[in-house]
A and B are shown apart, each in its own frame.
Chain A
């Protein structure tokens, strides 16, 4: 029963990811007074890519072909771990939040290798930048996670959310800091403006795109999908950790429906917020990204310290 539910939730997660992406595009277009594509546009893109013929660069090795599947697998696994609609699902116990970060790292690792496999300048450039940014973002992310883990006394996501729920509505300064920190990290990690522009194909500015430049057909589809899932994971993390209300504690139909509804609303709101910010901000230079992430790191550190000093005392 519970396993079935877990799989269903995972499926929902994976299926819903493109929708979220489409929704953001739509909101953005609206904000920028452009004609918006339908929300389902990402699905169409994916299907088209799956249909398209696969082209491989001449120098690429088996690793280039294996990478998309590894990346996709890692992302789906990560999605399976994150509580979307309900808590206490068995999949949540497979891995805690640190392992989740590990999954992201694994996917990134293969992405970067694939980028370097083709032997062009762009691949190396993208890989170099991606790894640089990640190596700054990951500790910040973990700091935020640690704040959560220490105040909840666990690194297990569903248990943590449950305890936060249980403690009722208390305003924790640490969470405020951690929230904003996590937000900034999420932006950097998912390659959104102002760190990276997923829409650009101007060689010198691209980071994520530079690595996948040579991918085509089903490989490209998998990678795109994986990155949409990744984005959704971050979104769900932020919403469900910091405003967990509405998530289903039991497996009753009503509770689940409520949970689904709640998470949908929260995600939509968050996405809208993101769209606004992306409309207002411009992409920053690569070498001002460290300051950006440094700020995120600082926020997370403050969150940690304020937790230690203000909330535990001693």
Chain B
């Protein structure tokens, strides 16, 4: 039932892709058929995955594909079910949003066929990754996912930046995939087979297990965008069309998380606490770096991409905690960490998808990706603005929306550190928790900036001033995700219960304490330790705020509220350039955390030659670069080029030299064999 649904979902996505090839002949019908199929595929994924998750189904099947002695194994279990649901939800939203969004590509010189084809392949590949049950099928699906998304990143290839981004993306995807392949290779070597079933039985020596873990962490971390392997992410995600960015940021990163969980918790047979520590530290690092870099961006989609790095970091912190607890024999707490991580996975898919869709809407209507030129959109695009606000609140982890719940759970997991024996861990974990707190606060600051600069205040450019609200489908796509953000924020108890089968599958126990006091109260560890009644919080907010509103606005219906010019120290009329820009907004933070970025700042003063004291013009330039680029990636590139140059010298072009090579080789080999 669930597996067949999942397979139908894959087929649906494939069909949508293949049908897309006809887009040049019948643009409009093909468009709608494609997105309908995509939506159905998403729906199928949600249903199939949901069935597997809620009823803890495990179904396996073998397809006559692949190598003759290694057919493709498929399998649906609660874990893959959960990720199917995640994929499905965002896919549905995208399929609602897409038809409106691709309109701007229809009249470009680019045929939309490629767009539809690779979108379908992309979704199908992601769904296939999570239901693959042997290394070969997994890798095929995985690479297909990378490849198709690469073509989508390169879709608008008339811009050189996109081409560079696509190249970098595919290169790093390839390297990561090779690492994953090796990780599977280790397991296969010990387990004597490529099917996950055989790998589960592999009895690894600790050293080889750690090697496998390191390879997997490298490979999946590169895809998930863990710092400092994140470098491709902020370049590739903005380059793709926005609904694809939503899929990549919202879902593809999650598929990498899935791979990590599947590999460490399932195949590798039980995590170890030191791996968990590594993951925890890596997670904290990329959470903090991600948000700090995001703060300095003024390209909306780039900024969102950096926030993906941050959120992946948070997810990995949860996983790391789970591994530490599991490795030190506290399964109950391990479950808590795992649930927190999975919950945040779901949430990030929702709000990051929502935010990218919103960014796409703005981009389509105002043709502006740069915050510095936006402003006042809340009046031009009220609905999009509302949904985007919900996204901002959720990602800033503010109650009562969903982002808060998962971070709260992560905190709760971290606060259980005293249960550990090792004093080092006990001291270290709370510190990482504080890092998480810092991250959350900075994220809030960042999204105040985004929303304030983009949607509030006055428009900073003509296009933005004349932007119009997007069409119904696009609004529906955003609305769906926004609604889910609220639902999963207000009903955490059910969500946690729904996640329990996964915990049972991976760690052998659930989280019974979470709902001992009924659906209203979320009490992850015990009612005594911590409790959170999200529905009551929502109700309370409405109660107190609403009561006040009612009290205060009951009278005075008669006279309309007067509007006046705000106070500007008496300088003439207010204009848009008086507002704080995004660069200005983050200036204090830039001063405080200066060493983190590579900041190039220069001020050019032009003075009146007649009287040198008079300043006629002032030009301010600010470039902020990613440090890891300079310190890690450029040296690598230089090394390869240098090596290539050196090797090139052997090919002199003189045939006599070549003959000498031949003679020399001959002599050496003869000498070797005798």
Q: Chain A residues in contact with chain B, CB under 8 A?
A: 50, 53-63, 69-70, 72-74, 76-77, 80, 93-96, 98-99, 102-103, 105-106, 108-109, 112-113, 115-125, 127-129, 131-132, 134-139, 142-143, 146, 149-150, 153-156, 159, 203, 213-214, 218, 222, 286-287, 290, 297, 301, 304-305, 308-309, 312-314
Contact = CB atoms under 8 A, between A and B. Distances in A.
A306 B378 CA distance: 49
Nearest to B529: A154
Contact of B451 (A77, A113, A132, A150): A113
11 contacts: A62-B378, A73-B546, A95-B531, A95-B533, A119-B579, A120-B578, A138-B438, A154-B530, A301-B434, A308-B426, A308-B427
A116 B456 contact: yes
Contact of B444 (A108, A116, A119, A313): A108
Given A99-B404, A146-B415, A313-B423, 13 more contacts: A53-B562, A61-B456, A70-B541, A70-B545, A77-B544, A94-B532, A95-B531, A96-B532, A102-B408, A105-B444, A113-B456, A119-B566, A154-B529
Interface in B436-459: 437-438, 440-442, 444-445, 447-449, 451-453, 456-458
A121 B568 contact: yes
B371 interface: no
A116 B441 contact: no
Contacts of B585: 124, 127-128
Interface stretch (B80-88, B194-202, B587-595): B587-595
Contacts of A153: 418, 529
Interface in B537-587: 537, 540-546, 548-549, 552, 561-569, 574, 576, 578-580, 584-587
B469 to A, nearest CB: 14
A52 to B, nearest CB: 12
A182 to B, nearest CB: 14
A95 to B, nearest CB: 6
A89 to B, nearest CB: 13
- Looking at chain B, what size class is its interface with the partner chain? 35 or more
B562 A56 contact: yes
Contacts of B375: 119
A99 B527 CA distance: 15
A54 B437 CA distance: 37
Interface stretch (B35-43, B94-102, B125-133, B394-402): B394-402
B445 A131 contact: yes
Nearest to A124: B580
A12 B349 CA distance: 42
B441 A138 contact: yes
A132 B569 CA distance: 24
Given A117-B452, A129-B588, A290-B592, A109 B393 contact: yes
A138 B439 CA distance: 10
A113 B544 contact: no
A102 B394 CA distance: 12
B434 A146 contact: yes
Nearest to B591: A287
B537 A99 contact: yes
B431 A301 contact: yes
Contacts of B456: 61, 63, 113, 116-117, 119
Contact of A55 (B433, B527, B564, B584): B564
Contacts of B536: 94
B382 to A, nearest CB: 8
Contacts of B541: 70, 73-74, 77
Given A61-B379, A95-B533, A117-B452, A69 B546 contact: yes
A72 B569 contact: no
B533 A286 contact: no
A143 B427 CA distance: 12
A59 B441 contact: no
A136 B441 CA distance: 8
B528 A156 contact: yes
Interface string B514-528: 000000010000011
A99 B532 contact: yes
B537 A105 contact: no
Nearest to A97: B530
A105 B393 CA distance: 10
Contacts of B563: 55-58, 60
A155 B415 contact: yes
B525 to A, nearest CB: 9
A135 B444 contact: yes
A45 B532 CA distance: 36
Interface in B456-495: 456-458
A213 to B, nearest CB: 6
Contact of A77 (B376, B528, B537, B592): B537
Contact of A124 (B438, B533, B543, B579): B579
Nearest to B392: A109
B311 interface: no
Contact of B548 (A134, A222, A313): A222
A155 B452 contact: no
A213 B568 CA distance: 10
B584 to A, nearest CB: 7
A137 B437 CA distance: 10
Contacts of A63: 378, 389, 456
Contacts of B521: 93
Contacts of A312: 418, 423, 426
A164 to B, nearest CB: 14
B438 A139 contact: yes
A72 B574 contact: no
Contacts of A62: 378
Contacts of B427: 304-305, 308-309
B344 to A, nearest CB: 15
Nearest to B419: A153
Contact of A139 (B399, B434, B567, B569): B434
Nearest to A50: B552
B313 to A, nearest CB: 15
Given A96-B530, A98-B408, A119-B579, A61 B545 contact: no
Contact of A149 (B404, B415, B540, B564): B415
Nearest to A314: B423
A112 B452 contact: yes
Contacts of B587: 128
A11 B521 CA distance: 24
Contacts of A136: 438, 441, 592
Contacts of B529: 153-156, 159
Contacts of A93: 521, 527, 531, 533
Given A113-B452, A134-B445, A154-B529, A119 B576 contact: yes
B645 interface: no
Contacts of A73: 540-546, 548
Nearest to A61: B378
Given A63-B456, A131-B444, A72 B544 contact: yes
B185 interface: no
B430 interface: yes
A58 B565 CA distance: 6
Contacts of A72: 544-545, 548
Nearest to A219: B552
Interface string B364-397: 0000000000011011000000000100010011
Contacts of A218: 552
Contact of B566 (A57, A116, A129): A57
B417 interface: yes
Contacts of B441: 105, 134-139
A109 B411 CA distance: 21
B457 A109 contact: no
B25 interface: no
Nearest to B559: A53
A81 to B, nearest CB: 9
B146 interface: no
Contacts of B531: 93-96, 156
